[in-house]
Chains A and B, each alone.
Chain A
Amino acid sequence: MVGSNSRTTFPIWWIAIVFFALAVTFVADIWGTKRAVIRHEPVASRHFDPAPVRTPLIEPEYVYQGKLYRCNDCHATLEPSTIQKSYFSSHPDVILEHGANNHCQTCHNRNNMDMLVDLNRNDVPFAQSQRSCLQCHGPIYRDWERGLHGRMNNYWDDERGVVRRLTCVACHNPHQPVFAPMKPAPGPHVRQYRDFLKSISTENADHDG
């Protein structure tokens, strides 16, 4: 009697244990999708920063050895320069790679270094440097005026707000005008699973949306 009873209840004990184990895994969601898919961190905010790549110089100012000078603070005391593309003793950060334009005085007024010039030798303030650029880059200036070249910000509708059009030097370094290559922001996520051995699989990544 006792023996037959233990034979019938023995598997029932195991079913109970399996049920308990299942209950625990369901409640704790051990096998659930939440755990299987790799969690991605949000991208760094610099990847969607709308600020332009450069901060243009609005005033003719230069920081030298921690102090701020206006250009004429030094240049008024110096002989007007006719220097070509070469080594600038006080401007180690200026490397002139502007195509055939290899003279400082093509854009800078050599008699008044606080000003830029156009080809008619008229003064152009730093804040309106595009007037200097348009002397050679006419078609691009035409497109820029129509909003085709260059960046816009804020509003498309000028009845509702200010259409802010960035100038040439907000993107181009006037001394090296080729737009610098940059590191691309992270690409699309591919599906990644963590399998039982905790290794990461990216099978069929191209089929992911």
Chain B
Amino acid sequence: MTDKSDQHKCGCGKNNGDCESHRDDPGLTPVSRRDFLKRSAVIGSGAAALIAAMSPLRLLKETITAEEFVQRHYKEMSKEELDKVIARISAKVRDRFGVTPRLRDVKPMDGVEYVYALNLSRCNGSRRCVHACVNENNQSRSPEIQYISVFKMPKGTMDMEQGTRHYDPEQVPEDDSYYLPVQCQQCENPPCVKACPVEATWQEKDGITVIDYNWCIGCRYCEAACPYWARRFNFTEPDIPKERLNPDMAYLSNRPRPKGVVEKCHFCLHRTREGRLPACLEACPTGARIFGNILDPESEVSYVLKKKRVFILKEEAGTLPRFFYFFDK
């Protein structure tokens, strides 16, 4: 009754042919429950590890949107495009910090060229300017990005190599030292601008060298080109506590920067282009800092340049800084 051909009758209805399933040994060993569990555990964990390894991609969405990716250079944008960009950045700031910023684009004023003067006899190294700057310009707080480096210098030398930024005595000034604050010198012949391969940084007509943070590719060539060590790089997403955010912002100055771009002092252009003084000057407890319009012959800086023995840092570099130092009681 039981025939071999019946026993192995194939599902296709034939006992020969190329469907292969009617053979004695079809090449498959039965899988035990234990082996099945083992293999699926290995495959499952491998897949989980792969997905986990890809998890940094989750952050990509927050880093750059399609709109940002196709955004044009600041100087090429029309008024309407720039307004849209500003609205988009404002919304982003609002989402992240819960504050609606007063973000706008401030253009340079006509007939104005900014010059900074600093009286080194007066500077006492208290670093108030450094922190006023951080508070004004929405730099990352951890680690803190500081635009101003205050060098403690031994008396009797101008050699910056002999200075140190790391001093923390009980009281300043110390008898054997003077203090040299260095920030962006807003050079008339800026090496950083020449170094930038994508023209993300340029000099405006009032003398301020600015950066389009959306155009910067983060190559850091400008940072290397600067003889004054004035540029800073955002190695991490800037860490700004919500309550410390300064909502008074401009596109080219202190709006929160993304990770991976260069930033630097811009003479507080959102303040100075509206006639106000820079934050570092207002915080200086000794009044060592003097700021103004060099094209106005009656201005304070014009008086300093006419009457005092001013000097510039690293004159031999040929950068023509707009930042002048002098010693005067």
- Chain A residues packing against B (C-beta within 8 Å): 5, 9, 12-13, 15-17, 19-20, 22-24, 26-27, 33, 37, 39-43, 45, 47-50, 52-53, 140, 143, 146-157, 159-161, 166, 171, 179, 181-191, 205-206, 209
Tell whether B55 is near chain A: CB-to-CB under 8 Å. yes
Chain B residues touching A, majority SS = mixed
Q: From residue A208, how far is it (CB to closest CB) to chain B in Å?
A: 8
Whether the pair A23, B143 counts as a contact (CB closer than 8 A) is no
Whether the pair B282, A153 counts as a contact (CB closer than 8 A) is yes
Given A42-B241, A156-B293, A182 contacting B35 (CB threshold 8 A): no
| Contact sample, A vs B, 23 pairs, CB 8 Å cutoff | A26-B52, A33-B236, A42-B144, A47-B127, A48-B131, A48-B279, A50-B132, A50-B283, A147-B303, A148-B304, A149-B287, A151-B287, A155-B275, A156-B291, A160-B275, A182-B285, A184-B167, A184-B169, A186-B131, A187-B127, A187-B165, A187-B167, A188-B166
Whether the pair B172, A20 counts as a contact (CB closer than 8 A) is no
Whether the pair B290, A182 counts as a contact (CB closer than 8 A) is no
Q: Which of A52, A166, A182 has the most CB of B within 10 A?
A: A182
Q: Which residues of B contact A48 (CB under 8 A)?
A: 128, 131-132, 134-135, 279, 283
Whether the pair A161, B52 counts as a contact (CB closer than 8 A) is no
Q: From residue B67, how far is it (CB to closest CB) to chain A in Å?
A: 27
Of all chain A residues, the one with the shortest Cβ separation from B241 is A42
Q: Which of A15, A26, A33, A187 has the most CB of B within 10 A?
A: A187
Q: Which residues of B contact A27 (CB under 8 A)?
A: 52, 55
Bound CA–CA A209/B293 (angstroms): 31
Q: Which residues of A contact B272 (CB under 8 A)?
A: 156
Q: Which residues of A contact B127 (CB under 8 A)?
A: 47, 184-187
Q: Which of B273-293 contact A (CB under 8 A)?
A: 274-277, 279, 281-287, 290-293
- Chain B residues packing against A (C-beta within 8 Å): 35, 38, 41-42, 45-46, 48-49, 51-53, 55, 119, 124-128, 130-132, 134-135, 141-144, 146, 149, 165-173, 223, 229, 232-233, 236, 241, 244, 272, 274-277, 279, 281-287, 290-293, 299-300, 303-304, 308, 328-329
Q: Which residues of B contact A150 (CB under 8 A)?
A: 287
Q: Which residues of A contact B119 (CB under 8 A)?
A: 148
Q: Which of A12, A27, A188 has the most CB of B within 10 A?
A: A188
Given A9-B35, A12-B38, A147-B303, A184 contacting B168 (CB threshold 8 A): yes
Bound CA–CA A209/B51 (angstroms): 35
Chain A residues touching B, majority SS = loop
Of all chain B residues, the one with the shortest Cβ separation from A34 is B236
Bound CA–CA A13/B165 (angstroms): 55
Q: Which residues of B contact A16 (CB under 8 A)?
A: 41-42, 45-46
Q: Which 9 A-B pairs have the closest CB atoms?
A: A160-B275, A157-B275, A147-B300, A151-B287, A26-B52, A185-B127, A181-B171, A48-B132, A48-B131
Whether the pair B232, A209 counts as a contact (CB closer than 8 A) is yes
Bound CA–CA A48/B278 (angstroms): 13
Q: Which residues of B contact A148 (CB under 8 A)?
A: 119, 290, 300, 303-304, 308, 328
Q: From residue B90, how far is it (CB to closest CB) to chain A in Å?
A: 23
Given A23-B45, A23-B49, A179-B286, A185 contacting B277 (CB threshold 8 A): no
Of all chain A residues, the one with the shortest Cβ separation from B286 is A179
Whether the pair A184, B125 counts as a contact (CB closer than 8 A) is yes
Known: A17-B45, A146-B303. 20 other contacts (CB 8 A): A9-B35, A9-B38, A15-B42, A26-B53, A37-B236, A39-B142, A40-B142, A47-B128, A48-B128, A48-B135, A50-B132, A147-B290, A149-B287, A152-B281, A152-B287, A153-B277, A153-B282, A171-B286, A184-B167, A209-B233
Given A149-B287, A188-B146, A19 contacting B46 (CB threshold 8 A): yes
Bound CA–CA A188/B49 (angstroms): 39
